[in-house]
Structure 1
Amino acid sequence: MAAGRKGELVPRPSKKVEYDIRFASAGAKKGWRDLVATMRNPMADAWDFLTRTPTANTPTNYRLKGELGTVQRGGQSFERWQHKPTLKGSARIWFYLDDRTVFLEAVHTSHPYETK
């Protein structure tokens, strides 16, 4: 077994019951990066929530309604969820689940126009 380099980041192991998180778009990746740069602790909490309980209905996590309530990907229809990293902030994370994977579809740094 090769020795690790000094200062090398130790990856966090995931639990068997946790979900994977993946980007579903380049825009989601950019939005995630921007939010982490401006609100690191709430985004770490969002990561924990989305890997553990992404379908829990809370004041900051819920299914979107109406036309925004579903998303089409690869010929399949998925329920679209919204997560707010903070209760009073305007940032929003739109995601859907496919099996044990949370796909971040859009990460909005401010309140999305579609839900105003």
Structure 2
Amino acid sequence: MMEIVDHRLMECGDVDEIEVYKLVYTALWCVQEKPRLRPSMARVVDMLEGRVSVEEPPSSKMILVDFLCVDDDNVVADSNNINMPRLDTMSSQGTQSNVECNSTYSFATSVFSGR
């Protein structure tokens, strides 16, 4: 799990894997497809501070796209010279194209746009 979240966690060696699981599980609870399954912010704080246990979230049929896991050579600078990853997407003809991934694009066309 730690190498999936960030490979640097493996290198430093002083990160508790149980803590990483707790953070990932809490994040997955917060993005549940059905709003009634999502915890309140007070519960999230309790989960992160260890006052309540963090159970493994239920499996979901929701498709999550990994926007941040890209190769370093696949990063472009935006108009403010901030490095942003490119998102590989499929065009309507079935060929691959690169689309700049920024918060406006990624959230506007994601499963989160229905809220």
Q: Same fold (TM over 0.5)?
A: no
Higher RCO structure, 1 or 2 (CA under 8 Å, sep 6+): 1
TM-score, normalization by structure 2? 0.25
TM-score, normalization by structure 1? 0.25
Q: If you compute each CA radius of gyration, which structure gives the higher value, 1 or 2?
A: 2
